[in-house]
Amino acid sequence: MNGVSKSILKFKAGVAFHIATWAEVAKVALLEAGLQREDILVRALGHQQTAVLWRSEPKPMDVLCRYIAEQTGCAYVGDLLRKKRKNAKLTGLN
């Protein structure tokens, strides 16, 4: 496993340094791609999620999206997406 893969796993595990690092990388990439103040950010749902539950502990992707929204003036609408059912975990699939 390379360093990027390890960092992504640490991000998913909620390690603050890796969340902050990936949030900054994502912000720069989105700005370069043309992100504007009137844009809306949403996040992908985890394999066992059908919706974002605001009363639960924020997931690393929530922290990342909130940071990008605060830094760029966009809106983060985490509960915009919903799934009808949970799906299998993609980690380890070939």
Residue 94's pLDDT is 62
Cα-based angle 60, 33, 43 (whole degrees, multiple of 5):
25
Task: Report the predicted TM-score, pTM, of the whole model to 2 decimal places.
Answer: 0.82
Tokens of 39: 């844009």
Q: Which two tokens stand for residue 56?
A: 């639960």
Tens of pLDDT, residue by residue over 14-27, are 999 999 999 999 99
Q: How far apart are the first and last CA of the chain?
A: 15
| Contact between 41 and 77 (Cβ < 8 Å) | yes
Q: Parse the chain into domains and list their residue ranges.
A: 3-76
